[in-house]
């Protein structure tokens, strides 16, 4: 039996299509960790609640490691997704219990453990533990080979695209904006000011920003002038917004993949990105707030992506199930 784990909204979004394909084919149970307790309403068989503590990351890791009571006698493999504190803690606990780890979305790298922090450390650590590595593209498979990981590496695409098949694409007069990353918190005021300036100077475009729940971001919302600030969108509504917008300004990782699938350009407000397969195609890196205006002007009239999406065709879960059938 495979124990499929998630703790955050992005993790659940990416394991959900895989769970659907595994049902009735590969035996599994679901472990949910309450890292995003107020943002996820997914199914589960087992729940680990996060205890309160002075440091949220410490609390997540310690809660998982103190509560993980699964044994190799009845769990053949543990499957974790991505690079969250949940994924890291569950993978480390499985390692301590001598349960093999399957890593979904394996091999993403910046090789800078401070950027993004703490995700780069988590994903590199999981790669040291995992024995089956499910890489989205050949880029990530190459990094895993370079890192001399143990076990099997499979290029399977990204499961997030399995949620998107059949959704129509349009290019409305909306610029969709999302900013939330920990490493950008000190830059949020400057980014908000630059985005407000762009909105004021481009009245033909509607700038829409679903604001993140983090109070450190919300306290700067008054800086957003001529921008429609809304509450966070449910996943289906967010996907609809991505599929219909003109282009995107964001520091999100997952939206880079979704934008590529919908042939939308995205200005990535980060110093580095681990999603290298789309850089120079759908993704344009914006390393500083002062660079935003120039990049915006470059893509304002050149916003349609011609290249095929490098993250797959929406059949990743089917490929993964065929792999899992051979390991249990």
Q: What is the domain-level CATH number for residue 233?
A: 3.40.50.2000
- 130 and 186 co-located in one domain: no
Q: What is the pLDDT of residue 265?
A: 97
- Residue 304 in any domain: the answer is no
Q: Is residue 117 classed exposed, middle or buried when 0-12, 13-18 and 19+ CB atoms within 10 A define those classes?
A: middle
Domain co-membership, 152 together with 183: no
Phi-psi region of 306 (alpha: psi -120 to 50; beta: other; left: phi over 0): alpha
Residues 25 and 58 in one domain: yes
Please tell me the pTM assigned to this model: 0.93
What is the pLDDT, as a whole number, of residue 106? 98
Nearest-angstrom CA–CA distance, 134 and 231 = 34
pLDDT number for residue 178 = 97
φ, ψ dihedrals at 137, nearest 5°: -140, 175
Instruction: Provide the domain count of the chain.
Output: 2
Task: Pick 249 or 184 by higher pLDDT.
Answer: 249
- Rounded to an integer, what distance in angstroms lies between the CA atom of residue 283 and that of residue 256? 7
Same domain, 13 and 153: yes
Structure tokens, 198:
């762009």
Same-domain pairing of 34 and 132: yes
Report the C-alpha gap between 18 and 157 in whole angstroms: 12
Residue 42 has pLDDT above 80, yes or no: yes
What confidence category does residue 41 fall into, taking pLDDT thresholds of 50, 70 and 90? confident
Is pLDDT of 78 > 80?
yes
> What is the gyration radius of the CA atoms in the chain, in angstroms?
20
| 14 shares a domain with 41 | yes
Do 134 and 192 fall within a single domain?
A: no
Mean pLDDT of the chain: 95
* DSSP line for 170-212: ---SEEEEE---GGGGGGHHHHHHHHHHHHHH-TTSEEEEE--
Same domain, 152 and 187: no
What is the model's pLDDT at position 37? 72
Distance from C-alpha of 321 to C-alpha of 21, rounded to nearest angstrom: 7
Establish if 104 belongs to a structural domain: yes
The answer to whether position 164 is within a domain reads: no
The length of the chain is 328
> What pLDDT does 39 receive?
63
Residue 318: both structure tokens together: 């089917």
Residues 143 and 213 in one domain: no
Q: Using 50, 70 and 90 to split pLDDT, how confident is the model at 73?
A: confident
293-317: pLDDT as tens digits: 999 999 999 999 999 999 999 999 9
| 225 domain residue, yes or no | yes
Q: Has residue 165 been placed in a domain?
A: no
Ramachandran assignment for 234, one of left (phi > 0), alpha (psi -120 to 50 degrees), beta (any other): beta
Instruction: Please tell me whether residues 61 and 207 are part of one structural domain.
Output: no
How far apart CA 85 and CA 119 sit, in angstroms, is 8
CB 59, CB 65: distance < 8 Å: no
Contact between 190 and 178 under an 8 Å Cβ cutoff? The reply is: no
Tell me if 91 is assigned to some domain.
yes
Does residue 251 lie in a domain region? yes
What integer is the mean pLDDT of 4-10? Answer: 94
Q: How confident is the model at residue 257 (pLDDT cuts 50, 70, 90)?
A: very high
- Cβ-based neighbours of 136, under 8 Å, separated by 6 or more: 105, 107, 108, 155, 156, 157, 158, 257, 277, 311, 312, 316
Instruction: Report pLDDT digits (tens) over 172-221.
Output: 999 999 999 888 999 999 999 999 999 999 999 999 999 999 999 999 99
Q: Is the pLDDT of residue 53 over 70?
A: yes
- Model confidence over 102-137: pLDDT tens digits? 999 999 999 999 999 999 999 999 999 999 999 999
In a domain, 195, yes or no: yes
Q: Is the Cα torsion angle 287, 292, 298, 301 positive or negative in sign? A: positive
* Residue 291 sits in the same domain as residue 320: no
Same domain for 152 and 9: yes
Residue 97's pLDDT is: 95
Over 80: is that where the pLDDT of 40 sits? no
Q: What domain range includes position 286?
A: 174-299
């Amino acid at each position: 039996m495979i124990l499929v784990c998630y703790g955050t909204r992005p993790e659940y979004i990416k394991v959900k299509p895989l769970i659907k394909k595994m049902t009735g084919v590969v035996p599994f149970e679901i472990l949910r960790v309450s890292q995003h307790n107020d943002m996820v309403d997914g199914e589960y068989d087992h729940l680990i609640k996060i205890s309160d503590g002075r440091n949220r990351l410490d609390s997540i890791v310690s809660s998982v490691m103190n509560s993980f009571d699964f044994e190799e006698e009845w769990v053949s493999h543990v499957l974790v997704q991505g690079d969250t504190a949940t994924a890291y803690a569950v993978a480390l606990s499985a390692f301590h219990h001598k349960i093999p780890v399957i890593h979904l979305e394996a091999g993403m790298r910046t090789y800078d453990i401070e950027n993004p922090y703490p995700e780069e450390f988590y994903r590199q650590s999981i790669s040291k533990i995992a024995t089956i590595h499910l890489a989205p593209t050949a880029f990530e498979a190459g990094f895993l080979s370079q890192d001399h990981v143990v076990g099997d590496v499979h290029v399977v695409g990204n499961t997030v695209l399995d949620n998107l098949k059949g959704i129509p694409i349009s290019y409305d007069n909306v610029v969709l904006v999302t900013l939330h990353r920990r490493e950008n918190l000190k830059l949020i005021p400057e980014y908000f000011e630059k985005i407000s300036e762009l909105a004021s100077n481009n009245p033909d475009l509607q700038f829409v920003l679903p604001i993140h729940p983090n109070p450190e971001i919300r306290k700067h919302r008054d800086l957003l002038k001529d921008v429609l600030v809304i509450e966070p969108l449910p996943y289906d509504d967010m996907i609809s917004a991505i599929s219909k917008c003109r282009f995107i300004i964001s520091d999100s990782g997952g939206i880079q993949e979704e934008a590529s699938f919908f042939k939308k350009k995205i200005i990535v407000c980060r110093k580095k990105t681990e999603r290298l397969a789309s850089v120079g195609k759908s993704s344009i890196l914006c390393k500083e707030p002062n660079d935003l205006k120039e990049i915006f002007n470059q893509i304002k009239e050149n916003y349609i992506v011609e290249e095929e999406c490098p993250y797959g065709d929406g059949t990743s879960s089917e490929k993964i199930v065929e792999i899992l059938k051979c390991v249990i």
